[in-house]
Amino acid sequence: MKDKNKKYSAELTQHINSTRINKLYAIKRIDIVLITLSSAGIYFNFEFFKFIQEYNKVIDCKSCVLIPSLFFSSTIVLNIISHWTGYFANKYEEICSGLELDKLKRRKIDKEYEKRVESRIQLFNKFTSILNGITSILLVISIIIFIVIAFAIF
């Protein structure tokens, strides 16, 4: 029975590791998609604006045409900030792991320092998650605004 549990435990560990790899891959792909679509949205929006001007379309509010570009740009900027917060979360996670190794080696650890590091990990992880959600929502809003304005003009 113990051999069966060890085998099952090893399979679960392997599954967890492959799931982590897949999760990281998905997050990287989302970032690439956000940046690519936002960049394309900015370009497409300005080309759309040039098209409108070339065909002398009357626009009541020219700045309305530029609003989607502002949202697309915000998506890119917030995504970059999200990468920085993710970097700091990982930096403090590395420090925390080092402290755990020191504990295993029976070295003395400053408990207050450990608590500060752990709270920073939580803070930066929370910021990263929030920013990732905001950037995804901003991209969708940008696309919707662009479509609404395009249909309103034509």
Tell me whether residue 153 is exposed, middle or buried, using C-beta atoms within 10 angstroms of its C-beta: 0 to 12, 13 to 18, 19 or more.
middle
Mean pLDDT of 77-82: 94
Q: Domain total for the chain?
A: 1
Average pLDDT, the chain: 86
Q: Which two tokens stand for residue 105?
A: 């080696």
pLDDT at position 57 is 63
Whether the predicted pLDDT of 54 surpasses 80: no
**Quick check: 64 and 100 in contact, CB under 8 A?**
no
Write out the residue range of the structural domain in which residue 48 sits: 2-153
Helices (H) and strands (E) in the chain, counts: 3, 0
**Which residues lie below 8 Å from residue 44, measured CB to CB, with a gap of 6+?**
146
